[in-house]
Structure 1
Amino acid sequence: MTQLQGKRLPRPGAGQGRVLAAVLGLVAALGLGAVGQARADTPSPEKAPAAASRWTDQPHGFASLAGGTTGGAGGKVVTVTDQASLAKYAAAEEPYVIRVSGSIAVEPFGSDIVVASNKTVIGVGDTGEIVHGELHLNPGTSNVIIRNLTIRDSYVEGDWDGKTTDFDAIQMDTVDHVWIDHNRFTHMGDGLLDIRKDSRYITVSYNQFTNHNKAFGIGWTTNVLTEMTIDHNWFNGTKQRNPSADNLAYAHLYNNYLSSQVKDGDPVWTYGNWARGKTRMVIENSYYDGVQHPYQADATAELVQRGSILRNTTGRTDAWGTAFDPHEFYDYRLDPAAAVPALVTRFSGPQQRIGVTLHVPADYPTVQAAVDAVPDGNAVPVTIAVAPGTYRAKVYIPATKPNIVLQGTGQDRSDTVIVYDTPAAYGGSTGSATVRIAANDVTARHLTFSNDFDEAAVELNGEQALAMKTTGDRIVFEDTAFLGNQDTLMTDSPKLTTVSRVYVRDSYIEGDVDFVYGRATTVIERSVIKLLSRGSTTNNGYMTAASTWTGNLYGFLITRSKVVSDAPDQSFHLGRPWHPGGEPEAVAQVLIRDTELPAAVKSAPWTDMSGFSWKDARFTEYRNYGPGAEVTADRPQMSDEDARAHTVADYLAGSDGWAPYARH
């Protein structure tokens, strides 16, 4: 873009209703960390890592100990829709995050899909399922996450006791570090979930076990090694093993819901939880409704129960010994037992909102490495979670990798910064951008994007230094900051006649020359825009430089925002019309409405550019206020009637009805 003459000065440094209402407020429950020491006479896991929440993609409980469970983190993300692809990636030596899309019918009936170490197998949305087959973890397998799947229907008619088939949903022998979360298991040939033979560091959470005889068995060993957390699971229409825990060193069961137990007159093998052998079991704040033998223990076992609710139950409720204190291994927060039925029925099983998350730098060393792990043609959102810190590197999201959510995980957007310092003189305007987004359907939130090239310290012909450039469609920025000087934020499209849309909300943008510019249809709402002083008393710069295609009714809309400045009064323009390469069909459209303007804004705030008159552009204001919001002959005001057709919805809807603002 045309260089502005002169340099800027350096920048300054009760009843059911109440219970249900409470449940809806528990989405962020279950903080998980660790304090204390294990008992000296039993295996001693390491302390747990930092806290997690109900919707975290990080395992909690025993699966979080002794180095944690990360599954396929660090590997490529793949999406599978058939048995051959699932089997190939699940058995591979290298780590993979495997997304199961739709229903995969396994043949021959009841066959195994072997899952090797360092894998995440996760359903896409709430419809990923494996039918007629089993996920099988062989001895020695380590570090596996299985989430958000339905595994169903390998039952053989007439084999209610599973004596002739061994078609489990998931079976594992002598494995370690496994997280089984938010799955639905139903109507299988033997057990739904069998975790056997000294498997260690396991968490089973938020699953549904339904329509089955032998739901969930653990053990089959005389050793006392297994450590397991079992929480927020729903056992519904099952008969026994809910679970059966044989010789577990530690079995921590909390906030589970047992209901609609199968009743076939069996006085012994119809039961809820059973601590067998030398198991130490702790049960907390669970809910048993219509269950025979809710919880029982062998004479050699220890079982502690506290806080659970029993409704219409019969039979054994054993409790003896001291078992162990789960807080010696990890921290956790119990949900009220009365809330468990409503909470677990709503939040257990596959969930539409659970997706793949790639962590930077824990699993991928750089943001770009995480982007590169996303498959081309990606059709399902992948979240790249960026830990607090300063990442001095460029990032490019190519057009082949849509549906990415780039998200900082700090308390404030300033905690996570992606920054570089390239000016246009060293790579052109596009090459100067710290971050470039060419893909469609990308969201960035809780981040700061910066180009910290110091235009006052270096003599160059071009001082453009972009913090962000977008060319994709349906781009969203929420709670983000864009820091720079000239050309800070460019929202563009692949070519003049292609309309791309960008929505910026609750964000901060700063700059001096043309620092919000391009031809994309762009809405900036509820944000702060800072006009930086370059030290001039007469002309410190231009806020916008739109290059809207003349065939596009909507260019830039700045609404319900606040413009601030440290520049002198009457020294800043609201914008000028940019015609790239002298293109006559690029006719800027900018509307600033319902926005506070500072005294730094000129009374005649629009100006010409490169021989093109601002009066030929489409510059208007509507109901602005503040010391810089004068109404003069040089400030076109939009009529009430036209303003009704220039709303956020009008700018963004397009032909597909895109409405990102409706998420709030």
Structure 2
Amino acid sequence: MAQHRRRRTALAIAIPVALTAASAAAYGLLPGSQSRASAATAPAWATATADGFASVNALGQNGTYGGRDGKTVTVKTLADLEKYATASEPYVIVVAATITMDPVGKEIKVQSDKTIVGSGTSGQIVAGGFFLGEGVHNVIIRNLTIRDAYQGTWNDKEHDYDGIQMDGAHHVWIDHNDIRHMADGLIDSRKDTTYLTVSWNRLSQENKAFGIGWTDNVTSDITIHHNWIRETEQRNPSTDNVAHAHLYNNYLEDDPGTDITSSYGNYSRGKTNMLLENSYFQGVNNPVIRDSTATLVQKGNVFSGTSGRNESGGSGAAWDPRSYYPYTLDKAADVPALLKSGAGPRTSIGTTATTTSAAATTLTVAQDGSGQYKTVQAAVDAVPVNNPSRVVISVKPGTYREVVKIPANKPHVTIQGAGSSRKDTVIVYNNAAGTKKPDGSTYGTPGSATVSVQSDDSQLRNLTVTNDFDEATHQDIANQAVALLTQADRIFLDGVIVNGDQDTLEMETAAADKLGRVYIANSYITGNVDFIFGRATAVVDKSVITLKKRWDGTSAGYVTAPSTAADRKGILINRSTVNGDVSAASFYLGRSWHPGGSTTVDPQTTVRNSTLSAAIRSTPWSDMGGFSWKDDRFAEYKNTGAGSGAASGDRPQLTDAQAADQEVADWLGDWTPSAS
């Protein structure tokens, strides 16, 4: 029997290279508070309207616009979500937290004229979903993650727990959601539900993805476009007795690396009249099938590695969607990349800067005197203490040989290179742990950092931070030499290079009992010994980790050295590449650091969905300081490359269920990193 997979693809989060400038806060409202969401003041997502059949004027409803004419409320509890979703008046309901259904499988009975929208990627519904009953109309469900009602039985006939179920509803828009790992199906459109548009969703890790029908009437009109459907077995979708089913620019993927195998792809059943355009089918069995009584017209689809039935034909009347609504087709060949980057929850939906926030202040730094300051530290010093809004320090191209420290009382600081490349702006210094200060004491490891970030909500972007301490010349002193130190929460490193040898990137927290989250994306980190280390909760995502030889030309080292608290997440390396010009089988992925011999820490490193070069040892984890790595938390999941390997006692691999709880969203919690 196929095993149930619970992998969150992309951040879930899959945060793109150029993040949308949006606050991680919700709409500036406390739970239960209200404000009028008028078109003049509300953000675009609060007044968005559906496309496709959901936009058609019919049944007394003019298109689908949800709760835009009502008040906006932000909810973080099940009680508040149910209160507003079941109310008779219109609401825009912003879900700004993870809400767990109680009991498991609960489906909130949504009433008409509602927009339910996740705040960035923080809106999650766990162990249940939504139900839209007979006559419910004008409902928008957007930008949510709906997940994990699975009860342990594949093809579950006993637990009818869906992500979204509609029985006789009309004018519904389901858009930009991530729906996965439910008990029965992800979406069910039943009993003459019509004027439905389902767009830009990720549907995955399920036996039944999307079922449509359960009626003898042939009246439903449905548009399904730009959805990424993967790791699902059937109903992808299955459309039964649908008068007009328009499917276009969808991506159906059967991943050969999982235990789930597709039975079929798009299915036209009963008297359905389906138009299927410019979709992409990857590795799917029986990608397109139809009943003898159904009609199915194909145009411009791409099939790669598919097998089995691929059908079209039928006696139904030809129809043109443009006689109902306008639409634009993307090229089928572009669909996989388009949906991998664009489907699912967006950081720009459901979030907005609060009305009281001041605009960001920009300070400029240039060595030649053309800026406001000649050094980066001088600009940092100019930031007012307890600054309430973001200050961007724009640093013109050049090499700045200085030590930079952003103190804890100056939050919301961004240091950003102004050049076209991250290599154009370089901050560099050469202190090591054993380097003496003017008073004769030594700097110690944290004190050796070229750049120290001690303030919450700060960022480094588009620049290089280097510690160029010369180990070969100074073997007489302790040679830990930090390039970048973080000691705060919600630190975002985007498009940076962090260069060093031993202890390149140290990520800590402000205190042992404080949370310190760091998100690193689209970046390069170089080093050789313990060069990604510390007790912070840190994600290295979509980045390159480059291994360097030691000062004497030998190849040996450790990528990570976590010292994670027992109740925290440690270091997650995700969708990244580990390589370098070093000897084969010479580097460990990590070792367990217990500072000062502490027995209370529980170090954690997870390396998943990454490419490992031959430099990685076949036994990739190591003991440290008398502590066995096997007593701590070290694991891999679905890595590839010459340095990857099969599961063994010396190379633990996460199960699919374990991997579902070790993804970017699990590390970042209620924080959605965004450029600002």
Normalising by structure 1, what TM-score? 0.47
Higher relative contact order (CA 8 A, sep 6+): 2
Normalising by structure 2, what TM-score? 0.46
